[in-house]
Amino acid sequence: MLDQFQHVFRSHLTPLSFIKRSAFVYPNKTAIVHGDKRYTYREFGERVNRLASALKARGFKKGDRCAVLLPNIPPMLDAHFGVMLAGGLIVPINIRLAPAEVEYILNHSGASFLICDTEFAKVVEPIRKNLQTVKHFIDVNDEPGHGSLGGTDYEAFLQEGSPDPVEWCIEDELEEVSINYTSGPTGRPKGVVFCHRGAYLNAINEVLETHQHPESVYMWTLPMFHCNGWCFTWGVTALGATHVCLRRFDPEAVWPLIKKEGVTHFNGAPVVLIALLNASNRPKKVEGPLTITTAGAPPSPTLIENVQAMGAEIIHVYGLTETYGPTTICASTPDT
């Protein structure tokens, strides 16, 4: 079967098809919300092309690694498609790590680029002299008042690229797209490698199992550096649904945001849900449909009851970095 005619009936499974399709089908629909900023799917697609072509223009090649040290802001979504589009692997780094851990991951992954929010310049500065492979620093200036690594401003970097479509360079859908470092109980962090096919499949299954659809509005309480946001970075985009960014988690700020943006879905560990339920401004009942997917630790029966009492749907999933995030679900089986 794996013959010369396969290209006529078989295409590679890759998240790149998600942004390509949504930018084509939903050019004027809101793709990303970040405070007062709004990007349509056309703009999102163009920024992804810009990032990919800017990386390539600086010599980034197939199989190269681009690390990101970013909170849940639009450049993090750009990077989830743009790095892959340039043929490389994204290496999302936990923003809560200590400098020595960041150093280990940057060197171990062999990242040639680091896209870093200026808030975390203070983490990188002390270890900068120890970095063996990073040649290009890109500063994301999302919030004023932080230091800087003195790299290229991210928005200026995008201007080095072009919004025109970048040609895919996939030869095999099992080619790698991401390395997520995860710490086991022993030793150094281990890099878990995701491929195009796996990312495509898990992304689609995540949004299917959490009942999302093109009109969904997904809020980023879950860090995108955890298993690429449990693959929702890709899945929400696949549907042409709306990403609502959240630079940092503040329970009191979340409830007004849910109301303002009409959020229908978000994910979070039980500790996040507990914080939200304890917020002083939390409504007694949610106004619209709201589906909350939880994992990371077992939600207590009390927590489940309290979420349901608000009129929200709660879905409990389980997985690990090695399985692209959630891979199994506590299915509702009323009759058993």
Q: What minimum distance in Å lies between the beta carbon of 231 and a second copy? A: 14
- In whole angstroms, the minimum distance from the beta carbon of 6 to a second copy comes to 7
Could you tell me how many residues of this chain bind a second copy (CB under 8 A)? 34
Return the residue of 4, 7, 8, 9 that touches a second copy, per CB under 8 A.
9
Q: Within 221-260, which residues bind a second copy (CB under 8 A)? A: 239-240
**170 to 189, contacts with a second copy by CB under 8 A?**
172, 174-175
Q: How far apart are CA 255 and CA 42, in angstroms?
A: 29
Phi-psi region of 13 (alpha: psi -120 to 50; beta: other; left: phi over 0): beta
To a second copy, the closest distance from the beta carbon of 163 in angstroms equals: 19
Instruction: Out of 61, 62, 188, 213, point to the residue binding a second copy (CB under 8 A).
Output: 213
- 167 counts as binding a second copy under rule CB under 8 A: no
Is residue 207 at the binding interface for a second copy, with CB under 8 A as the rule?
A: yes
Identify the three-state secondary structure at position 242. Answer: strand
CB atoms within 10 A of CB 192: 16
Under the binding rule (CB under 8 A), the answer on residue 32 touching a second copy is no
Cβ atoms of residues 286 and 267 within 8 Å = no
CB of 308 to a second copy, least distance (A): 15
Q: Is 304 exposed, middle or buried (0-12, 13-18, 19+ CB in 10 A)?
A: middle
Is residue 331 close enough to count as binding a second copy by CB under 8 A? yes
The two three-digit tokens of residue 279, written as one number: 């917020």
Rule CB under 8 A: choose which of 4, 186, 280, 332 binds a second copy: 332
First to last CA, the chain: 43
Q: Look up residue 235 and give its two tokens.
A: 């899945």
Q: Which helix (H) or strand (E) holds 202?
A: helix 196-209
Q: Tokens representing 280?
A: 């002083």
Q: Which of 63, 150, 214, 288 binds a second copy (CB under 8 A)?
A: 214
- What residues have CB less than 8 Å from 129, skipping those under 6 apart? none
Which helix (DSSP H) or strand (DSSP E) does residue 78 occupy? helix 74-85
**Selected binder of a second copy within 75, 92, 161, 198 (CB under 8 A):** 198
CB closer to a second copy, 12 vs 247:
12
Name the residues that contact a second copy, by CB under 8 A: 1-2, 6, 9-10, 13, 25-29, 172, 174-175, 195, 197-198, 201, 204-205, 207-208, 211, 213-215, 239-240, 331-336
